[in-house]
Chains A and B, each alone.
Chain A
Amino acid sequence: MSSLNSAIPSGDLAEKWTKYKATAPLINPANKRKFSVIVVGSGLAGGAAAATLSELGYQVKCFCYQDSPRRAHSIAAQGGINAAKNYQNDGDSVWRLFYDTIKGGDFRSREANVHRLAEVSSNIIDQCVAQGVPFAREYGGLLANRSFGGAQVSRTFYARGQTGQQLLIGCYQALEKEIARGVVQMYPRTEMMDLVKVNGHAKGIVVRDLTTGEISSHAADCVILATGGYGNVFYLSTNAMGCNVMAAFRAYKRGAYFANPCYTQIHPTCIPVSGDYQSKLTLMSESLRNDGRIWVPKSADVAAKIRAGEMTAADVPEAERDYYLERKYPSFGNLAPRDISSRSAKEACDEGRGVAKSGLGVFLDFKDAINRLGKDAIKARYGNLFQMYEKISGEDPYSVPMKIYPAVHYTMGGLWVDYNLMSNLPGLHVLGEANFSDHGANRLGASALMQGLADGYFVIPATLPSYLVNETPGKITTAMPEFREAEESVHDRVNLLMKNGTKGTRTVDSFHRELGLLMWDKCGMARNKAGLEEAIAKIPGIREDFWANVKIPGDSTQVNMELEKAGRVADFIDFAEMTCHDALNREESCGGHFREEYQFTEDDPDVKSGYTNPGEAKRRDDEFSYVAAWGDNGPGKKPELIKEELEFEAVKPSVRSYK
């Protein structure tokens, strides 16, 4: 069996990164410009990496499927970015950010990576402010903070409800500056279709120009993937329509290991589904939980009347309301972490107490906050979010409570990487949401932006030389047979889709919807053995049907959005199968992975002592304290499981309680 070397430096946890930077190999400026780097993705991780590596002197090629690097989906992050600045003097520190993130991840992430993330968090804020990112400020001119789920300090920096946008624009501007210098070559509307390996090392990619359909190869001394998450495997998610797993999955097919795909984050505060025509779900920022109170009626009968339109929220007296997060988790209340809040909403709705027409929705109520602070103060804090809600739902959240329900939002799993952010394939580096490394089984709010920028601005620039020093630059060209082979396989795949597509009868979206529904039912907020086995049995049928009956009009030599979507959905189908295998294998509940067979019951000592509640996720550290990395075994075969045991030196994994 293959083994994994996480390459974590020796020494004290708090000293590892400092020591690493002091002793890591360097490449002198005259040699740096001989090395070329491919960066796929232009979001916070990819954009930051491309800009910074270019500043350092490497030749960079950056690719994105959107029409401009500024449109990457990092832009949609609303709430904020964490940093252990302790500007609020409320007791924050690198250690606390590290600890909260490890605990928030349900003790399923690597200590060394998470500590490094907490260490560089402060540098990110400095860098972004210097770029002109307009973070919220106090009247004294200093930066403001707010609190987010899973933390008892205010360490979140924010820019109204558009933090992701402002950070990405900062990053994009840095990237454009390097494009203008001629060091970064930018390829928008270009999709990575395959990874090219030379002697086992990742040395290039095959791409399709989405405007002309042209398939071409690019060679480099190393490849960086920063291609985001796979939430759209569920069809409905808060991801952008184009977000897909193709780049990461193609790397997996070429031998890279995919780690922990079953760790998917279901975000508790999204606008509920309203019909089957729906194309995506809209997130309402977690920051709303600072002032909004989540509740459902105590009685299912009252909830039924609300669903039927016979009663409204205002008709329910205080004594009849169940503020269930405040009741169950008094010390964190409405700011309980995402996985826990989402499951509680599902529980309430499963009990028949949901308030949206479909039965799947709970109230997020601002009445008390408006009474306490005034409407203007609430408008200043959340104005654009309230406006967004009103536009979508047609209801005014200043006068009636919002209705929300959990939706797929973020994926903690991703390609396996070591401490250098390099995968098991030498030369292939993976950043941001696309890797698995920092969030364990559940990500805390305001930590995705932090990780993306940490990886791009500060980690990869320091770790990339460890790989490159052993390489001779410029040896790789696209004339090598490995590139021809990969190009041919891409041509074959596109041709096969078009050939089948011209006589097909079913739309790409209909397959995507079918797959998504199956995944949501069997591998969504709650999973069990029978359901996962059922999904694994059904997916091959969807795949067969897809390749036989998918309909794709037009041709492949120009813009063809059905062809683009078909390629992505084909990979989602195969990817879904691997995800279900992972979820089936992990016979425990942790973070975003909730196996119904493994939950606390009345008889557990931790429940009897009052430390946790029945129904909470139950980890099994003795057997599952490992990273599950999956290797491809060929089409239709169960993937191979390779384990990386997690070692906890600084923190002792405990039952995660937010009571």
Chain B
Amino acid sequence: MNLTLKVWRQAHADDRGSISTYEAKDIPEEASFLEMLDIVNEQILEGDSGEEPIHFDHDCREGICGMCSLNINGVPHSKEQGITTCQVHMRKFRDGDTIWIEPFRAKAFPVVKDLITDRTAFDRIIAAGGFIDVRTGSAVDANSLPIPKEEADSSFDAAACIGCGACVAACKNASAMLFVGAKAAHLNLLPQGEPEKDRRVLSMVRQMDAEGFGNCTNQYECEAVCPKEISADVIAKLNRDYAKAAVKEAVAT
């Protein structure tokens, strides 16, 4: 199939950036979206323009590392449900389509180059409290703490987050509440996570605010684009856990 691509090009963080147009010719429909970009990049490289290929983040190409991003026709990871950009295949497009490709947009995710953004704000939120503090070697036997299957499964649903940032990119406020809520729910739902629960939500939410992510106004765009289909229920739980922890903190001080 033949396609027209409208791609965001930005030489470096301080460059203003603009949209460039590329013709993607003879794209096999079995190819993945990123393989389509590979083909276009080969064409750019083989040409005489001296132009650099389109830079984008990617690594595992099987939907789990969270490195690939891209707004495809305005939607993070495309309009396909429950998958990442690297899992989008060209059979979902039609010959002659024009596709707009842009980076994830958020103040807290500055563009590094072209379609590559800096998402290290997420790492700093995890460092603020997204863990269970257990020294290596100090754990008790794994089966000494039975966990009801339903609780374990709910925790798992939240733990499926791959930290890609699509939730932020989809939100008009660039809120990271789904990301933070997912990590808080994963750990707070488990008995192992109970002792640090209050400290965890307070620290993570404060770090989130400090990074410049916006507020949640219940639009559910995040849930709609999440490649791991994490439910916005984790945001409600985060709000409850945060309220309780904040009250306890206020009373204690």
Enumerate chain A interface residues (CB-CB to B < 8 A): 48, 51-52, 55, 66-71, 73, 75-76, 85, 87, 123, 125-132, 134-143, 159-160, 162, 164-166, 169, 172-174, 176-177, 179-180, 186, 188, 211, 238, 240-242, 274-275, 277-280, 282-283, 387-388, 391-392, 394, 457-458, 461, 507, 509-510, 551, 553-554, 558-562
Contact = CB atoms under 8 A, between A and B. Distances in A.
A97 B68 CA distance: 37
A176 B130 contact: yes
Contact of B60 (A75, A136, A138, A173): A75
Contacts of B59: 66, 71, 73, 240-242
B142 A85 contact: yes
A390 to B, nearest CB: 10
Nearest to B67: A71
Given A141-B149, A507-B45, A559 B60 contact: no
Contact of B141 (A73, A126, A165): A126
A392 B87 contact: yes
Interface in B170-196: 186-187, 190, 192-193
A600 B142 CA distance: 45
A352 to B, nearest CB: 24
B119 A68 contact: yes
Identify whether the interface residues of B are mostly helix, strand, loop, or mixed. loop
Given A174-B131, A509-B42, A87 B143 contact: yes
A141 B139 contact: no
Contacts of B132: 130-132, 173
A510 B163 CA distance: 32
24 contacts: A51-B136, A66-B67, A75-B65, A123-B139, A130-B138, A134-B186, A137-B152, A143-B142, A159-B156, A162-B64, A169-B159, A173-B131, A174-B136, A179-B127, A240-B61, A240-B65, A279-B34, A280-B62, A392-B87, A507-B45, A509-B38, A559-B113, A562-B52, A562-B53
A212 to B, nearest CB: 10
Given A132-B155, A559-B55, 11 more contacts: A68-B119, A71-B59, A75-B60, A130-B134, A134-B152, A134-B190, A176-B126, A241-B58, A277-B35, A558-B11, A559-B116
Contacts of A174: 131, 134, 136
B53 A561 contact: yes
Contacts of A123: 137, 139
A457 B67 CA distance: 26
Contact of B133 (A177, A279, A392, A558): A177
A502 B247 CA distance: 62
A132 B137 contact: no
B160 A162 contact: yes
B120 to A, nearest CB: 7
A587 B111 CA distance: 53
A186 B123 CA distance: 11
A129 B38 contact: no
A180 B112 contact: no
Nearest to A271: B62
Contacts of B28: 274-275, 277
Contacts of A126: 139-142
* 10 nearest A-B residue pairs (beta carbon): A141-B146, A173-B131, A130-B139, A180-B127, A126-B139, A176-B127, A134-B156, A129-B142, A52-B136, A240-B59
B57 interface: yes
Nearest to B65: A71
A69 B59 CA distance: 13
A55 B67 CA distance: 28
A87 B144 CA distance: 12
B119 A139 contact: no
Contact of A67 (B42, B57, B60): B57
B147 interface: yes
A142 B51 CA distance: 58
A553 B52 contact: yes
B156 to A, nearest CB: 4
A392 B89 contact: yes
Contacts of B122: 68
B162 A165 contact: yes
B24 to A, nearest CB: 12
B212 interface: no
Interface centre among B57, B66, B112, B131, by most chain A C-beta atoms within 10 angstroms, is B131
Contact of A127 (B53, B67, B87, B134): B134
Nearest to B88: A391
A240 B119 CA distance: 19
A70 B66 contact: yes
Nearest to B116: A559
Contacts of B146: 137, 140-142
Nearest to A276: B28
